[in-house]
Amino acid sequence: MQKRAPSKAKPPGSSADAGGAPDVSFEEALASLERIIDRIESGKVGLEDSIAEYERGVDLLRRCRAILDRAEQRVAELSAPPADERAR
């Protein structure tokens, strides 16, 4: 009989899910956040699960804001006149 290796699955809210993964796209994070909101608002989740989902939602919201901040910075950089034009 072979022994199974321990599971490497991470609990919700860990860095392995959309809430904490730095490589999750904005769209994926936003879709996950919307699903969390739907679950909490449905009233079908218990209090402790709602709190865990809320925490994960906060992580996702932070992720979305960070992505938007970087995008805004990049647009500002691309929109700025070249250095040689600013010197004139």
What is the C-alpha to C-alpha distance for residues 58 and 78, in angstroms, rounded to an integer?
30
Which residue would you say has higher pLDDT here, 19 or 41?
41
| Topology given in CATH for the domain delimited by 26-79 | Helix Hairpins (1.10.287)
The domain ranges of the chain are 26-79
Number of neighbours of residue 50 by Cβ within 10 angstroms:
16
Q: What is the pLDDT of residue 21?
A: 58
What is the C-alpha to C-alpha distance for residues 67 and 30, in angstroms, rounded to an integer?
11
* pLDDT per residue as tens digits for the range 51-77: 999 999 999 999 999 999 999 999 999
What is the C-alpha to C-alpha distance for residues 84 and 10, in angstroms, rounded to an integer?
51
pTM as predicted = 0.66
Q: Which residues of 16-29 are buried (b: 16+ CB within 10 A; e: fewer)?
A: ebbbbbeebeeeeb
